[in-house]
Amino acid sequence: MKHPFQHILLDKTGEYFFAAAINTVFLFKIVKNDENDNDTNSDNIIENAKLLGSWTDEVDPYYTIRKHHRELLEQYEQQQREKEEKEKAENELSSNSTNENNKREIIPVEQIPTSTKQIMNKRPKLPLPGPGAPPTYTYIRDMTLSNNNEYLIITTDNDKAVVVFKINYNPSNDNNNEKVFNLTKRQPMMKRPSAICTTIDDLNILIADKFGDVYSLPLNDEKILNDNELKPILGHVSMLTGVYNTIDENNNQVIFTTDRDEHIRISYYPKSYVIKKILFGHKEFISTFILPKWCNNNILVSAGGDSFIYTWLWKSEIEGNEIKCKFNVDDLIKDKLNEKHLVPEKFQNDSKNLVEYCISKIIPLNKTNQLAIIFEKIPFLFIFDLSIDGELKFNREINVINDIITATCTNDLLILSFNNMEKCLNFYQIIDNNNIKPLENSLKLLETINNANDSVIGDIDELIPLFNTNYLRKRREH
């Protein structure tokens, strides 16, 4: 069985399509029919897709376990050396002591090396999982393109790394050794990255992690930093879910960060210890936010684990006056919830029918000034109209074949990725009259891309986690 694509990404031109399945990322060129370039309503503009190249992450699946084991071994060996030195010093002191009480000299606590305060009496063993242990996954957690389209940045699960590639979009047909994915850096992080982006000028990568810290690393510098060289530029007190760099009303660079505790923070950059403002309104985690281009960088749209999509006048000078629109989505999806949305048994009500839902992604449709909204584990795509001043209005829903994992859109092409082994993608054309319709040759595109996907699994139990958004929800005893 072919594994579905957990991440998909169109470049800014709409000519190149990245897709990640388990630990492999593929790059396809979207082949267009030149004869129909002037016909914006033609289904035949996109003919097919051509595989340009792929890259597979072959990192040791037990990298993190082995790294921790090495650290424990170093600590154990250091303790043994310090223990031997201490015993030697005590023996010398005891043999040379002539004081009247014949007492042994006591070493002050502050002089005892830190590593000896937690003594390991045995040499640590490598704790590899045994039979029946939960599966260990090696997969691509996230990916994004630099603003100039030249670099692909991905994050991995096992070694908690940020991996940077310089992309060759035009490999020579005569040179089979010419790489498409040119690895420039693999930077392991101390904590698992949860969101990434590049700065406006593409000089740095901004990395948010699950412990609430943000790091800024040079994009073009190939040097790998040690853990003690990694210094956060800002921090939250809970897991971060998003990071983005832009310009404010005074032409100052700012960083947007969102977290599991309902916060949207706007900090100055690079002096990120200075907070510009915090936007309050959400009552649950924030999983997704965007600044739509047609709103001229004035409107922020956010959503997550509560019942509302918010639009914000984030540049407002009046504190507390930032909320422009608060759209309740309960009525749109209450009849679409099922057993997949039941609250875990521990937190259920007496009737065992308590359900919950969340929005996993907002996709801007720049051609029509609309938003496409994905609800986790709901097989519908919801389309909203967003005015330039931030007014949000529901337009329609599109019934799709299966639960949507993720989506990507550029210009007039929208691609959805599904939790479906056979039909894992669908392709839609966005037309000028705000219409969205499937491409007639979607099956041809799917066949080409699916044939190139060599990420094969033997059983459905081998699927990597595809729906992770609702796990951000903090549980409260009732």
Judge whether residue 138 has pLDDT over 90: no
Sorted by sequence, the CB contacts under 8 Å of residue 165 that are 6+ apart come out as 55, 151, 152, 153, 154, 181, 182, 183, 184
Give dist(CA 324, CA 327) in Å, integer.
10
Residue 414: half-sphere exposure toward Cβ, Cα within 13 Å: 26
Domain membership flag for residue 342: no
- Rounded to 10 degrees, what is the CA torsion of 409, 415, 420, 421? -120
Domain-located, residue 229 = no
pLDDT for residue 256 is more than 90 = yes
Of 326, 100, 286, 98, the C-alpha closest to 195 is 286
State which residues form the domain around 74.
64-116
- Please tell me the predicted confidence (pLDDT) of residue 73: 74
Decide if 363 is inside a domain: no
Q: Which of 133-142, 150-159, 209-218, 455-464 has the lowest mean pLDDT?
A: 133-142
**Would you place residue 135 in the very low, low, confident or very high pLDDT band (cuts 50, 70, 90)?**
low
Backbone dihedral angles phi then psi of residue 336, each to the nearest 5 degrees = -110, 0
Query: What pLDDT shows up at residue 116?
Result: 45
Q: Find all residues with CB under 8 Å of 273, minimum gap 6, and list them.
A: 233, 234, 267
The pLDDT value recorded for residue 40 is: 46
Q: What's the domain count of the chain? A: 1
Task: Name the percent of the chain lying above pLDDT 70.
Answer: 86
Query: What is the tens place of the pLDDT at every residue in 167-204?
Result: 999 988 766 557 999 999 999 999 999 999 999 999 99
Are the C-beta atoms of 385 and 422 separated by less than 8 Å? no
pLDDT (tens digit per residue) in 50-71: 999 999 998 866 656 666 666 7
- Of 18-22, 69-73, 83-87, the range with the lowest mean pLDDT is 69-73
In a domain, 407, yes or no: no
pLDDT for position 83: 81
Residue 128 forms part of a structural domain: no
Q: Tell me, yes or no, whether 170 lies in a domain.
A: no
pLDDT digits (tens, 9 = 90+) for 280-298: 999 999 999 999 999 999 9
Instruction: Name the average pLDDT for the chain.
Output: 89
More confident residue, 175 or 98: 175
In a domain, 286, yes or no: no
Q: Is residue 84 part of a domain?
A: yes
Contact 160, 65 (CB under 8 A): no
Convert the pLDDT of each residue in 432-450 to its tens digit: 878 899 998 899 999 999 9
Could you tell me the pTM of the whole model? 0.85
What is the predicted pLDDT for the residue at 113?
Answer: 54
pLDDT of residue 324: 97
pLDDT digits (tens, 9 = 90+) for 329-387: 999 999 999 999 999 999 999 999 999 999 999 999 999 999 999 999 999 999 999 99
Distance of CA 186 to the CA centre of its chain: 16
